[in-house]
Amino acid sequence: AFYRLCRIVYSNHRWFQFYWLYVIAIPVQLLGAFIALCPILIWHDIIYLPNEYYCLVVFTKFRGFLWALFICYGVPLLLLSLIYLRITIFIRQQPLNQTLMVKQRQKRDLAAIQRIFINVGLLLAFGIPAVVLLIMYFITGTEHPLTYRIFWLGPEVSLPILSVQMIFMTPQLKNIIIRRRQNRVTTLDTTIQMRTIATNQ
């Protein structure tokens, strides 16, 4: 999304178009995520679950759970919404006498942001069962024995769905898959024909 923002809104700023800027941005983003999640370690809100055999921020640690939820879901969704809003406003303010190539590029970039929103929406939708169990816990005060397994069910189901969805919603990936499949079918047909000719001889 940041790449699309720089490509559309800040296309005249040359240093925003440098390849190395986005290469450096990856470790910076990972470092920022690590620093943002450090308070959970400082608060000792990650505990070992004896029935599940792994460590996690549990629902009972309300402060740590809300912080993790805010960092993992709230901040990315907020930044994505602000970037999408900025790009939309910028495109609407552009004059009508733009070249066709520029308009097509902006539409492609805006469509890419919309696809990112769809992905985030799917992730949030798969997290609804965990949210329901969390609300039930706060109402009843008792924790469902399958809470954490259902909590991990969302990411486990969403990852393969998002992988397939990415292929169909990204034209470049879709064309690569189609070309490889066509080449495989052509190669198979050629092999069968050669074997048939050899058998007839």
Show the tokens assigned to 8.
Answer: 């559309």
* pTM for the whole structure: 0.64
Per-residue pLDDT of 36-64, as tens digits, reads 889 988 998 888 888 888 888 887 788 88
Neighbours of 172 (CB within 10 A): 8
Per-residue pLDDT of 5-46, as tens digits, reads 777 777 777 777 677 777 788 888 889 888 988 998 899 888
Name the residue with higher pLDDT: 67 or 98: 67
Residue 193 has pLDDT above 60, yes or no: no
Name the residue with higher pLDDT: 187 or 165: 165
Structural domain boundaries in the chain: 2-127
State the Cα–Cα distance between residues 28 and 30, nearest whole angstrom.
5
Q: Name, in order, each residue with C-beta under 8 angstroms of 45's C-beta and a sequence gap of 6 or more.
A: 57, 58, 61, 63, 64, 65, 67
State the Cα–Cα distance between residues 67 and 33, nearest whole angstrom.
12
